[in-house]
């Protein structure tokens, strides 16, 4: 165990695919935690948007996922690992406006093809791995000391 | 002086900690300490729910007294459209205005023409706006506070168009000072308010500007005197006041009142903090981008449901609708001159002066590392609590109680469910102590003897 473990806050959230009535709850809880800890408002805004988009991606395209939040005094990390269809073409998926959403999803206001690009734009560090047919995992980092 | 002005005070003499306020507060800003309710100032958004909930009337709105207007050389009453909602079509605004003058105000002016103009100005603003949607009305000061405290990302979406009461007060001061040849500071303009929250927007405007109003008088305080003053109003006074009323602005006191004046495709009106929170969560997630304008009020049904009104909120909501119908038959102005509004809009006549800033709550600790540690402790404490939110510890929920503990404002034994453990520990300690004494000298038989002797006497 590292010495600084008491200054690491880890929390896990389970997200269910297709569960639209609870969609958004995880990102709201995360936002509240960040507000309580006193993270800079501008970072909270970016992190909350990224968290919500990541959560919605799970709800729309995967069966289930674990959303892990890790906060240290230096950085904020989100790890979203889902079990689902995965992404066939990552380069395409990263393009703005590209979407595989169904008409139903679009009717609900989703699937504008902005999800992943939006996440990337808001995070300081963005990593994505995907195995078609198995799932996708997303690694996001936000640095808390802006001057560094 | 504290950092934030609030329009709500607790009368500790009257408070007997019945916890009604504790449970209704939507921002968990109330605690019971030493048998009395207290308000955590940074969390309070002045919604007034606690005023309505208190069975002892121990929570008092801080409005200006109806007497004591003598500070000013000239006084003007500026009633909220919510005042007309108290009377409806039975007593028309044209009678209410002279009634207010009879009460001792030098003048009384109706706000509806300015409401109509501001509606048009909002429409102008919406037309040229290209930023994130929807835009959010600033009509309710509590909603503005809620956004500053909990939804800092939505601050950009607050419409920077000045409220009718401020525009009206600003222009009245200019006009009156010119007409009467006195200084603007010698003119006192008093808003007749349906809720205490308007008081905060006068004393401490959210946008850090300054208010043109000099105070707010509660509609419930003025209702009784006004009723008797109305009887003395003579008929001939009516005509002029009728000219100063505008139908378009009449609906501003009720939820949806602004939306119905706007010619836009998509707008949304909501009232009541729990519902507003749901909508703001959705806006923050970008779900309502197809909506142009959101009108939200902390009080159910809008300002007609304010805690300082007299009439039942559903009845007064209906009264506004009926009043508008009735006024449509009178030959009065339906709406302001759009060209005039457009011209003034271009001159920034309607723009607010200051800027809205976020007002985030104090974090668990200033130091991020310590705050993280405290947040973890809070989770652990919460896990050990019964999670039934009984409130006996003085905090509204087990979660807020856990937060109070890590902030050092409460101790675990304040929770009665933790008392049995404490008792068990204490009695263990006690019996250990006693057993030590017992081994030193046999005191127990003596005690029982003396007790028995006493009983016999």
Helix (H, G, I), strand (E, B) or coil at B426: helix
Nearest CA in chain A to B286: A49
Matching residue, tokens 């271009």: B346
Nearest CA in chain A to B284: A49
End-to-end CA distance of chain A: 27
Q: Do A37 and B362 touch (CB under 8 A)?
A: no
Q: Are residues B42 and B163 in the same domain?
A: no
- Read off the pLDDT of residues A56-80 as tens digits, 9 standing for 90 and up: 999 988 999 999 999 999 999 999 9
- Confidence band of B443 (pLDDT split at 50, 70, 90): low
Domain boundary among the residues B319, B346, B373 is at B346
**Is B323 part of a structural domain of the chain?**
yes
Q: Are residues B90 and B215 in the same domain?
A: yes
A45: nearest CB among B150, B153, B362? B153
Q: How far apart are CA B8 and CA B21, in angstroms?
A: 12
Orientation of helix B219-230 relative to helix B93-102, angle to 10°: 90
Query: pTM of this prediction?
Result: 0.86
- Is A103 an 8 Å CB contact of chain B? no
Residues contacting A109, CB < 8 A, separation 6+: B287, B289, B290
**Is B270 part of a structural domain of the chain?**
no
Residue B353 above 90 pLDDT? no
Residue B448 above 60 pLDDT? no
Residue A52 distance to chain B (closest CA, Å): 7
Q: Are residues B236 and B108 in the same domain?
A: yes
Helix (H, G, I), strand (E, B) or coil at A56: helix
Q: Are residues B224 and B181 in the same domain?
A: yes
Orientation of helix B112-128 relative to helix B338-346, angle to 10°: 60
| Angle, CA B39 vertex, CA B33 and CA B43 arms, to 5° | 130
Q: Are residues B125 and B183 in the same domain?
A: yes
Contacts of A11 in chain B (CB under 8 A): 379
Among B150, B278, B372, B400, most A C-beta atoms within 10 A, so best to mutate, is: B372
- Confidence band of B70 (pLDDT split at 50, 70, 90): confident
Q: What is the pLDDT of residue B91?
A: 85
Q: Are residues B48 and B84 in the same domain?
A: no
Q: Are residues B240 and B110 in the same domain?
A: yes
- What DSSP line would sit under B356-372, residue for residue? ----PPPPS-SSHHHHH
Provide the CATH number for the domain around residue B188.
3.40.50
Percent of chain B predicted with pLDDT > 90: 62
Q: Do A38 and B376 touch (CB under 8 A)?
A: no
Percent of chain B predicted with pLDDT > 70: 93
**Residue among A28, A34, A26, A43 at smallest CA distance from A82:** A26
Residue A102 distance to chain B (closest CA, Å): 17
- Is B361 an 8 Å CB contact of chain A? yes
What tokens does A141 get?
A: 């980092």
Residue A47 distance to chain B (closest CA, Å): 11
**Is B338 part of a structural domain of the chain?**
yes
Q: How far apart are CA B117 and CA B335, in angstroms?
A: 8
CB pairs under 8 A between A and B: 65
Q: Are residues B325 and B220 in the same domain?
A: yes
Contact B200, B61 (CB under 8 A): no
Q: Are residues B326 and B443 in the same domain?
A: no
- Is B278 an 8 Å CB contact of chain A? no
ipTM of the complex: 0.83
**Is B66 part of a structural domain of the chain?**
no
Q: Do A49 and B362 touch (CB under 8 A)?
A: no
Q: What is the pLDDT of residue B308?
A: 92
* Strand B59-61 with B74-79, pairing: unpaired
Q: Which domains occur in chain A, in start order?
A: 3-143 (3.30.565.10)
**Is B413 part of a structural domain of the chain?**
yes
Q: Are residues B190 and B111 in the same domain?
A: yes
- Is B399 an 8 Å CB contact of chain A? no
Q: What is the pLDDT of residue B119?
A: 94
- Read off the pLDDT of residues A11-70 as tens digits, 9 standing for 90 and up: 999 999 989 888 889 999 999 999 999 999 889 989 998 999 999 999 988 999 999 999
**Is B319 part of a structural domain of the chain?**
yes
**Is B84 part of a structural domain of the chain?**
yes
Q: What is the pLDDT of residue B78?
A: 95
Q: Are residues B95 and B201 in the same domain?
A: yes
- Confidence band of B457 (pLDDT split at 50, 70, 90): very low
Contact B140, B119 (CB under 8 A): no
Contacts of A47 in chain B (CB under 8 A): none
Residues contacting B241, CB < 8 A, separation 6+: B93, B94, B97, B98, B110
Contacts of B153 in chain A (CB under 8 A): 41, 44-45, 48
**Is B285 part of a structural domain of the chain?**
no
Torsion angles phi and psi, residue A66, rounded to 5 = -110, 125
Residue B373 distance to chain A (closest CA, Å): 5
Residue A45 distance to chain B (closest CA, Å): 6
Residue B87 above 70 pLDDT? yes
**Residue among B132, B137, B440 at smallest CA distance from B286:** B132
Q: Do A52 and B365 touch (CB under 8 A)?
A: no
- Is the bond leading into B120 cis (omega within 30 degrees of zero)? no
- Is A12 an 8 Å CB contact of chain B? no
Domain that holds residue B25: 8-60
Instruction: Give me the mean pLDDT over the A132-139 stretch.
Output: 93
Contacts of A109 in chain B (CB under 8 A): 287, 289-290
What is the total count of domains within chain B?
3
Contact B316, B88 (CB under 8 A): yes
Q: Are residues B316 and B205 in the same domain?
A: yes
Q: Label residues B327-342 b or e (16+ Cβ within 10 Å = b).
A: beeeebbebbeeeebe
- Read off the pLDDT of residues B417-432 as tens digits, 9 standing for 90 and up: 988 888 888 899 999 8
Q: Which segment of A125-134, B140-149, B331-340 scores lowest on mean pLDDT?
A: B331-340
Q: What is the pLDDT of residue B11?
A: 94
Instruction: Give me the mean pLDDT over the B153-166 stretch.
Output: 94
A109: nearest CB among B287, B358, B368? B287
């Amino acid at each position: 165990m590292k010495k600084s473990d008491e200054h690491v806050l880890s929390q896990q959230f389970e997200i269910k695919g297709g569960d639209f009535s609870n969609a958004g709850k995880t990102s709201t809880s995360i936002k509240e935690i960040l507000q309580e800890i006193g993270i800079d408002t501008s970072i909270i805004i970016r992190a909350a948007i990224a968290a919500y988009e990541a959560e919605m991606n799970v709800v729309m395209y995967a069966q289930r996922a674990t959303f892990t939040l890790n906060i240290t005094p230096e950085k904020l990390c989100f790890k979203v690992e889902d079990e689902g269809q995965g992404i066939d073409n990552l380069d395409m998926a990263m393009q703005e406006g590209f979407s595989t959403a169904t008409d139903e999803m679009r009717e609900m206001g989703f699937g504008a093809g902005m999800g992943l690009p939006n996440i990337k734009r808001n995070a300081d560090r963005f990593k994505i791995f995907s195995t078609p047919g198995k799932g996708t995992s997303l690694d996001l980092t936000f640095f808390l000391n802006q001057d560094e | 002086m504290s950092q934030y002005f609030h329009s709500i005070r607790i009368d500790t003499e009257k408070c007997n900690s019945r916890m009604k306020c504790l449970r209704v507060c939507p921002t968990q800003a109330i605690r019971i300490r030493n048998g009395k309710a207290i308000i955590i100032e940074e969390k309070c958004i002045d919604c007034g729910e606690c005023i309505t909930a208190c069975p002892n009337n121990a929570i008092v709105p801080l409005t200006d007294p109806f007497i004591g207007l003598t500070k000013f050389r000239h006084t003007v009453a500026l009633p909220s459209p919510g005042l007309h909602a108290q009377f409806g079509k039975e007593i028309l605004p044209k009678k209410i205005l002279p009634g207010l003058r009879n009460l001792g105000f030098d003048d009384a002016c109706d706000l509806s023409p300015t409401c109509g103009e501001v509606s048009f100005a909002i429409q102008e603003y919406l037309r040229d706006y290209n930023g994130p949607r929807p835009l959010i009305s600033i009509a309710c000061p509590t909603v503005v506070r809620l956004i500053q405290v909990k939804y800092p990302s939505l601050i950009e979406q607050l419409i920077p168009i000045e409220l009718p009461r401020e525009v009206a007060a600003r222009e009245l001061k200019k006009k009156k000072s010119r007409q009467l040849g006195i200084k603007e500071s010698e003119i006192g303009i008093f808003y007749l308010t349906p809720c205490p929250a308007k008081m905060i927007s006068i004393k401490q405007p959210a946008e850090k500007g300054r208010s043109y109003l000099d105070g707010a008088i509660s509609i419930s305080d003025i209702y009784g005197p006004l009723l008797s003053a109305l009887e003395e109003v003579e008929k001939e006074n009516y005509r002029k006041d009728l000219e100063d009323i505008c139908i378009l602005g009449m609906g501003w006191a009720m939820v949806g009142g602004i939306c119905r004046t706007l010619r836009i495709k998509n707008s949304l009106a909501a009232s009541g903090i729990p519902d507003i929170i749901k909508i703001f969560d959705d806006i923050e997630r970008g779900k309502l981008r197809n909506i142009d304008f959101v009108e939200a009020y902390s009080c159910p049904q809008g300002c007609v449901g304010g805690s300082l009104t007299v009439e039942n909120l559903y009845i007064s909501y209906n009264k506004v609708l009926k009043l508008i119908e009735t006024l449509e038959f009178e030959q009065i102005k339906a709406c302001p001159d759009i060209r005039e509004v457009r011209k003034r809009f271009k001159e920034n006549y309607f723009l607010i002066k200051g800027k809205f800033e976020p007002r985030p709550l104090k974090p668990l600790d200033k130091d991020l590392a310590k705050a993280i540690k405290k947040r973890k402790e809070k989770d652990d404490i919460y896990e050990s609590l019964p999670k039934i939110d009984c409130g006996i510890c003085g905090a509204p929920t087990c979660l807020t109680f856990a937060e109070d503990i890590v902030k050092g404002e409460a101790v675990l034994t304040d929770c009665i469910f933790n008392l049995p453990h404490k008792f068990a520990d204490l009695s263990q300690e006690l019996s250990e102590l006693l057993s030590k004494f017992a081994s030193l000298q046999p005191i127990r038989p003596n005690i029982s003897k003396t007790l028995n002797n006493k009983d016999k006497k």
